[in-house]
A = this chain, B = another copy of it.
């Protein structure tokens, strides 16, 4: 009966549990058996039982290595993750999942922030071609972002604010950078009507191209 065979192996195995190599295992068997195989091969196991035992030992050792590998990774997870209260495997995994999700959300949020980050816009185009672009902010309804780059000159800002005044728009925020004679501005404009966008755009285009001249400055 197969089951009995397993039991015998199991008992042998238990008896030799703490032996750590093939010689020790062999030492656990009857002397008569050993002497039968002694002359043909000194250390190599011969009998089917021996082979099975060695295989079992190898198997359990491999399994132990696998367990240790996995447990080591649990340990590093425990060290990496903050706010670990319970440190059993299931909790570690649960906390890991939670943290990964949070981190992912955080990253996507931060990446979106930095992509909609005005400073990046300003830095983005240091080229010499004139540009004018108006777009509705997707974050804030009613706010229009005007991006313009042109030659920097005396009174440019006055011209621009004049254009804004004409359409009764209010600048709630502005970023201006002037590099190498080129100016780039990003204006967040509030209070434009539905048709105000087109009007502002044309007025801004004029302001950008207005020839330089001395002006009375009234902010």
The 10 closest A-B pairs by CB, nearest first: A217-B217, A110-B110, A73-B93, A103-B103, A173-B177, A175-B175, A154-B219, A174-B176, A106-B107, A118-B119
Is the pair A122, B73 in contact by a Cβ cutoff of 8 Å? no
Query: Does A178 have its Cβ within 8 Å of any Cβ on chain B?
Result: yes
Given contacts A178-B171, A216-B217, contact A97 B114 (CB under 8 A): no
Residues of B within 8 A of A80 (CB): 97, 100-101, 104
Residues of B within 8 A of A85 (CB): none
Q: In the bound complex, what is the Cα–Cα distance between A219 and B156 (angstroms)?
A: 9
A interface, over-half SS: helix
Residue of B nearest to A76 (CB): B97
Q: In the bound complex, what is the Cα–Cα distance between A216 and B134 (angstroms)?
A: 31
Number of copies: 2
Is the pair A94, B117 in contact by a Cβ cutoff of 8 Å? no
Residues of B within 8 A of A111 (CB): 110
Query: Of the candidates B69, B154, B156, B219, which one forms a contact with A218 in the assembled complex, judged by CB atoms under 8 Å apart?
Result: B154
Query: Does A56 have its Cβ within 8 Å of any Cβ on chain B?
Result: no
Q: A77-112 vs B: 1/0 string, CB under 8 Å?
A: 100110000000110011011011101101100110
- Further 20 A-B residue pairs, CB within 8 A, beyond A74-B93, A117-B117, A172-B179: A70-B89, A70-B90, A70-B93, A73-B90, A73-B94, A77-B93, A80-B101, A80-B104, A96-B96, A103-B107, A110-B111, A110-B114, A113-B114, A114-B114, A117-B119, A154-B219, A171-B178, A174-B177, A214-B218, A216-B217
Is the pair B99, A100 in contact by a Cβ cutoff of 8 Å? yes
